[in-house]
Amino acid sequence: MSSSLPVGIFDSGIGGLTVASAIHKLLPNEQLIYFGDTAHLPYGEKSPEAIKYYSLKIAKFLADKKCKIIVIACHTASSQAYEDLVEFLGDKIPIVNMIDPVVEKIIAENQYKRIGVIGTKSTIQANLYQTKIQALNAQMEVIPLATPLLAKMIEEGFFNHQISQAVIHSYLSSPKLKKIDSLILACTHYPLIEAEIRDFYKDQVAIVDPAEIVADYVKSRLQTFELLSDTEPKRHQFFVSDYTPSFEKSTQVFFGQKIHLSHKNIWGQ
């Protein structure tokens, strides 16, 4: 496999752009191919079967684009479809999910004792953060809380806004999250409201943003397979299953330039 091949990334919408941006900043020589499944967002309200179907279709699309690694830039898809994608492509293309790199880093650093996790209903119901962290360190307490309105709110552009502040305050005031020392943003949309979350906690709680952690992990995986690119990258490619103005605006914010979006219907393939 050639090191000049692209890095594939997918999510249900704009949230995965936080991961794509982190990878781009860390690995500027890598070409990115991003698929935003905007026709089916948010994944957090879909059945496990639907999420697996969408994820497998997108993974096949990225594999056909000759991607050398695929990043599931979505906690919901990571929790529901990762094993299926590994079975489907794992011996041909490395697959990276959003959860395992974060768990590895938290266990290695061993700084936190009472860890909050906020995410979609599907991610929280899968309970993977709690299961994986406590399997490695039973002294760490993990407190999950479903926050289903946040991803929808962000996709509609409501952040740094009175509405977002009210919704965030309502969720984070939950008694379940009382006395946490850290909070995992277990949805790739949530870094877009990280400033508001930090403001709520007045910097008294450590905020764990998986995007940079996953970017570091992608770099280490590419190094392991000797696939890091050292040449000038080709132009990034962005595909969406349904055009949305908010997605186009977000790509410009993250990448500092106008991005051409290609509408792609992969469901009949």
E strand spans, 12-68? 32-36
pLDDT of residue 251: 77
Please choose, from the candidates 180, 122, 196, 189, the residue with its C-alpha nearest in 3D space to the C-alpha of residue 150: 189
- Residue at a domain's end among 169, 185, 210: 210
Which tokens go with 115?
Answer: 């860890």
| Model confidence pLDDT, tens digit, residues 87-116 | 999 788 999 999 999 999 999 999 999 999
The reply to whether 203 and 105 lie within a common domain is yes
Count structural domains, the chain: 2
Domain range for 185 is: 100-210
| Model confidence pLDDT, tens digit, residues 196-225 | 999 999 989 999 999 999 999 999 999 999
Q: Of 22, 32, 153, 187, which is the active-site residue?
A: 187
pLDDT of residue 124: 94
Instruction: Name the pLDDT band for 269 (thresholds 50, 70, 90).
Output: low
Would 257 be classed as within a structural domain?
yes
- Separation of alpha carbons 173 and 165, rounded Å: 12
Q: What CATH number is given to the structural domain containing 41?
A: 3.40.50.1860
The reply to whether 198 and 106 lie within a common domain is yes
The reply to whether 38 and 14 lie within a common domain is yes
The reply to whether 200 and 234 lie within a common domain is no
User: 217 CB contacts (<8 Å, ≥6 apart)?
Assistant: 96, 101, 104
Region 264-268: what's the mean pLDDT? 84
Percent above pLDDT 90 for the chain: 72
The reply to whether 114 and 146 lie within a common domain is yes
Enclosing H/E stretch for 62? helix 48-64
Would 1 be classed as within a structural domain?
no
For residue 11, the cross-strand partners are 36
- Residue at a domain's end among 210, 232, 252: 210
- φ/ψ of residue 113, rounded to 5: -120, -30
| Model confidence pLDDT, tens digit, residues 49-78 | 999 999 999 999 999 999 999 999 999 999
Give the DSSP letter string of 127-143. THHHHHHHHH-TTSEEE
The reply to whether 69 and 160 lie within a common domain is no
Q: Is 67 considered catalytic here? A: no
| Model confidence pLDDT, tens digit, residues 123-180 | 999 999 999 999 999 999 999 999 999 988 887 777 777 888 899 999 999 999 999 9
User: 149 CB contacts (<8 Å, ≥6 apart)?
Assistant: 167, 171
The reply to whether 75 and 123 lie within a common domain is no
The reply to whether 38 and 55 lie within a common domain is yes
Q: Of 74, 115, 184, 215, which is the active-site residue?
A: 74
* Cα-Cα-Cα-Cα dihedral sign, residues 48, 32, 93, 103: negative
User: 199 CB contacts (<8 Å, ≥6 apart)?
Assistant: none
Looking at residue 74, what DSSP letter applies?
-
The reply to whether 124 and 219 lie within a common domain is no
The reply to whether 77 and 153 lie within a common domain is no
Q: What three-state secondary structure class fits 223? A: helix
- Separation of alpha carbons 78 and 83, rounded Å: 8
E strand spans, 114-258? 114-119, 141-146, 182-186, 206-208, 237-240
Would 2 be classed as within a structural domain?
no
> Are the C-beta atoms of 141 and 114 separated by less than 8 Å?
yes
**pTM (2 decimals)?**
0.93
Please choose, from the candidates 111, 115, 119, the residue with its C-alpha nearest in 3D space to the C-alpha of residue 130: 115
The reply to whether 52 and 120 lie within a common domain is no
pLDDT of residue 47: 92
The reply to whether 121 and 53 lie within a common domain is no
Instruction: Name the pLDDT band for 14 (thresholds 50, 70, 90).
Output: confident
Q: Supply angle C-alpha 206, 148, 204, rounded to 5.
A: 15
